Amino acid sequence: MNDTLVVYFSGNDPTKSATADAARNLASVTGADLYEIRPQNPYSKDFNTVVQEAQRDKDRDARPALAGPSIDVKPYRTIILGFPNWCGTAPMPVFSFLDEHMKDGSLIGKR
């Protein structure tokens, strides 16, 4: 296991995601481990619908449930986090991931 982890949220269509491509390339070049944040209930692949869903979640300050399994970030020294900009901020599943790991203290001392 490497001491670096690339964590990413690819958006509503991982097959067309520049974020997913960048995360895979970064992990490949650096030898880092890779973890994708996936919501339990995926967002629509239709652009107009996903914009509405993202805005709805942002307005509610939602923390969507994530699809498992979770990852233990404690063994990693460096965590690289990537995501698309949705409605001027991180997508809410990213906040779900961060909240989960902040509550258990596993992000303390990470770079």
Residue 12 has pLDDT above 70, yes or no: yes
Q: Is the pLDDT of residue 2 over 90?
A: no
CATH of the domain at 76: 3.40.50.360
What is the pTM for the complete model shown?
0.94
Residue 34 lies in a domain: yes
pLDDT at residue 101 in the model: 96
Q: Report the C-alpha gap between 8 and 94 in whole angstroms.
A: 8
Specify if 111 maps to a domain: no
Q: Is residue 98 part of a domain?
A: yes
Residue 41 belongs to some domain of the structure: yes
Look at the chain and count its residues: 111
Residue 78 phi/psi, 5-degree rounding, is -125, 130
Domain that holds residue 34: 4-103
In a domain, 71, yes or no: yes
Determine the Cα–Cα distance for residues 43 and 77; give it in Å rounded to an integer.
Answer: 31
Higher pLDDT: 45 or 95? It is 95
Between CA 3 and CA 47 the distance in angstroms is: 36
Read off the pLDDT of residues 34-90 as tens digits, 9 standing for 90 and up: 999 999 999 999 999 999 999 999 999 999 999 989 999 999 999 999 999 999 999
Supply the pLDDT for residue 1.
Answer: 66
Q: Decide if pLDDT at 23 tops 90.
A: yes
Structure-block tokens of residue 45: 């692949």
Specify if 109 maps to a domain: no
CB 7 within 8 A of CB 82: yes
How many domains would you assign to the chain? 1
